[in-house]
Amino acid sequence: MASEEKKSHNEDENNSSDPQELIREYGQAVVKNKNEQLYILSITGEIEGHEVLSSSTKSTKYEHVLPQLAKIEHDETIDGVLILLNTVGGDVEAGLAIAEMIASLSKPTVSLVLGGSHSIGVPVAVSADYSYVVPTGTMVIHPVRTSGTVLGVKQSFDYMKQIQERIVSFVVSNCSIKKNRMEELMMNTSMLTRDIGTILVGKEIVKEGIIDDVGGIQDAVAKLKEMIKENH
């Protein structure tokens, strides 16, 4: 019986490491050639927090991403990580957890903003060692917002301010934008008709010092390979 259970466990492990299964279930992949092995991590849709989103919503689950990042750090065969982003944002705690994990990896990391990396997707985008945005890629930068019941007391607003400070602090410590400029973009009232914040596109994001450079997948992969070579 024990041998059958062990065999079943080994089969499960083999299935979970299947390349097609990894892409289908988690949107992740491992690519390798004779010189290096890269891990492709995609952050897409809405970053899911402690509450499960509806089945019709595309989401990235932090309970999937965090163990994978821990595995990447431990796996000596992985030389670098490419993070592909196309996210509307999502849960603040989950987004910051992912960003902090990426920032603390010892392996070289490069992020590439494709369609967009909005809201809490901004800290995730800047958490890599080097970041790119495609020419049409966008970012929406806005203040923290919440849903559900909110007590109309000072403590509630102090708590939201504290959360916002955590986000701003992480962003400015991982890119070139200054704190006062980041807060100006967040509190902009002249751009969005029904909201507060700023929409930035491609070169504008680089000009503000949030993302390092404008480029595509070729640039991102080339930069990652260059960093891996320097790291060795």
Let me know: does 81 contact 38? Beta carbons within 8 Å. Answer: yes
Let me know: does 78 contact 149? Beta carbons within 8 Å. Answer: no
Residues marked active site are found at 119, 142
- DSSP assignment of 9-26 equals HHHHHHHHT-HHHHHHHH
Cα–Cα distance, 115 to 189 (Å, whole number): 24
By three-state DSSP, how is residue 223 classified? helix
Helices (H), the chain: 2-16, 19-26, 62-74, 92-103, 121-126, 154-174, 179-186, 203-207, 217-231
